[in-house]
Amino acid sequence: MNIDEVSRVFKDLKSMIEPEAQISILSSNRLIITTSTDKLELIANLLKNYGFDHVKSVTAIDYPMKNIIEISYLISSFNNLNLSKIILTLKTLIDRNKSISKSLYKVWPSVEFLERETYDLMGVFFEEHPENTSLILPEDYKDIRPLRKDFKLIK
Amino acid sequence: MIIKIINNFYHHIRAILIGLKYLLSPGIRITLKYPDELPILPENYRGMLKLNNELCISCGLCSQICPAGAINLKLFEHEQTKQVGRHPEVDYKRCIFCGFCIDICPSKALELTRIHDAAFYVEDELYYEVNRLIIGPKIDPPCMRSKYVISEIDEVRGIVYRNA
Amino acid sequence: MKTSLSKQQDNRKEIELFIGPQHPASGHMRFIGRVDGDIFTNFIPDPGWVHRGIEKIAENRKWIQIIPLVERAAILDAANMNIGYVIALEKLLDIEPPPRAQYLRTLLCEINRITSHLYGFGIAGIMIGSSTFYMWPFADREPLIDIAQLITGARLTYSYMIPGGVRRDLPQGFKEKALKALKYIERRLNNDYFRIFFDNPVTKARYQEVGVLKRDDAIRLGIVGPNLRASNVKYDVRKVEPYAAYPELEFDIAYEKEGDCYARLLVRVEEIRQSIKIIRQILDALPQGPIIHKKYEKLVSLRKLEEYQKTGIFGLPAIFTVLRPPAGEVISRVEAARGELIFHIISTGELRPYRLRMVTPSFRNIVLFRELISGARVMDFPAIYGSIDYFPPESDR
Q: What is the mean pLDDT of residues C319-348?
A: 89
Q: Which of B12, B67, B158 sits opposite C140 (nearest CB)?
A: B158
Reply yes or no on whether the pLDDT at C6 is more than 60. Answer: no
- pLDDT the model gives residue C26: 82
- pLDDT the model gives residue A1: 53
Compute the distance between CA of residue B5 and CA of residue B1 in angstroms, rounded to an integer.
6
Q: What is the mean pLDDT of residues C182-211?
A: 89
- pLDDT the model gives residue C9: 54
More confident residue, C87 or A24: C87
**Positions in chain A short of pLDDT 70:** 1-2, 155
Q: What is the mean pLDDT of residues B27-39?
A: 80
Q: What is the mean pLDDT of residues B29-58?
A: 83
Q: Amino acid identity, residue A147?
A: L
- pLDDT the model gives residue A141: 83
Residue A117, Cβ neighbours under 10 Å: how many? 26
Q: Residue B133, exposed/middle/buried by CB under 10 A (0-12, 13-18, 19+)?
A: buried
Reply yes or no on whether the pLDDT at C345 is more than 80. Answer: yes
C320 touches chain B (CB under 8 A): yes
- pLDDT the model gives residue C1: 44
DSSP 3-state helix, strand, coil percentages of chain B (rounded to 5)?
Answer: 25, 25, 50
C35-62 pLDDT, tens per residue?
888 888 888 888 888 888 898 889 888 8
Whether the CB-CB separation of C161 and C105 falls below 8 Å is answered with: yes
Closest-approach residue (CA) in chain C for A109: C221
Residue C232, Cβ neighbours under 10 Å: how many? 16
Helices (H), chain A: 3-17, 40-50, 112-122
Q: Spell C189-218 as b/e; 16+ CB within 10 A means b.
A: beebbbbbbbbbbebeebbeebbbbeeebb
Mean pLDDT for all residues in chain B: 84
Determine the 3-state secondary structure of A96 from DSSP: coil
- The predicted complex's ipTM stands at 0.89
DSSP state of A126: E
Do residue C313 and residue B44 have CB atoms under 8 angstroms apart? yes
Cross-strand partners of A9: none
Using pLDDT thresholds of 50, 70 and 90, give the confidence band for residue C115.
very high
Selected residues 103-132 of chain C with any CB under 8 Å from a CB in chain B: 132
Mutation site for B-interface testing, chosen from C82, C169, C180, C186 by largest number of B Cβ within 10 Å: C180
More confident residue, C352 or B139: C352
Q: Which of C204, C226, C203, C201 is nearest to C213 (CA)?
A: C226
Closest-approach residue (CA) in chain B for C321: B65
A60-88 pLDDT, tens per residue?
998 888 888 989 999 988 888 888 888 88
Percentage of residues in chain B with pLDDT exceeding 90?
1
d(CA A19, nearest CA chain C) in Å: 24
- β-strands A22-27, A30-35 pairing: antiparallel
Using pLDDT thresholds of 50, 70 and 90, give the confidence band for residue C85.
very high
Instruction: List residues in chain B touching C: CB distance below 8 A.
Output: 8, 11-12, 14-15, 17-19, 22, 28, 30-31, 41-46, 59, 61, 64-68, 96-100, 103-108, 112, 151, 153-159
Determine the 3-state secondary structure of B8 from DSSP: helix
Q: Which of C116, C95, C47 is nearest to C317 (CA)?
A: C95
Using pLDDT thresholds of 50, 70 and 90, give the confidence band for residue C10.
low
Using pLDDT thresholds of 50, 70 and 90, give the confidence band for residue B106.
confident
Cis ω on the peptide bond leading into residue C326 (within 30° of 0)? no
- pLDDT the model gives residue C74: 87
Phi, psi of C183 (to 5 degrees): -60, -40
DSSP state of B18: H
Query: A3-100 domain in CATH 3.30.460.80?
Result: yes
For A138, residues 6+ apart whose C-beta sits below 8 A from its C-beta are: none
Using pLDDT thresholds of 50, 70 and 90, give the confidence band for residue C11.
low
Sign of CA dihedral C83, C86, C88, C94: negative
In chain B, where do the E strands start and end? Answer: 37-39, 49-51, 71-77, 84-91, 110-112, 127-128, 147-154, 158-163
Q: What is the mean pLDDT of residues B32-60?
A: 84
- pLDDT the model gives residue C103: 92
Mutation site for C-interface testing, chosen from A56, A68, A120, A155 by largest number of C Cβ within 10 Å: A56
The C328-336 sheet, strands edge to edge: C328-336, C339-347, C355-359
Do residue A57 and residue C344 have CB atoms under 8 angstroms apart? yes
Whether the CB-CB separation of C256 and C116 falls below 8 Å is answered with: no
The architecture in CATH of the region C54-396 reads: Orthogonal Bundle (1.10)
C222 contact residues in A (CB cutoff 8 A): 54-56, 108-110
C262-287 pLDDT, tens per residue?
999 999 999 999 999 999 999 998 88
- Chains with 3+ CB–CB pairs under 8 A to B are C
| DSSP run (H or E) holding A26 | strand A22-27
C282-310 pLDDT, tens per residue?
999 888 888 888 888 888 878 878 877 78
Cis ω on the peptide bond leading into residue C21 (within 30° of 0)? yes
Whether the CB-CB separation of A61 and A70 falls below 8 Å is answered with: yes
- Chains with 3+ CB–CB pairs under 8 A to C are A, B
Closest-approach residue (CA) in chain A for C92: A27
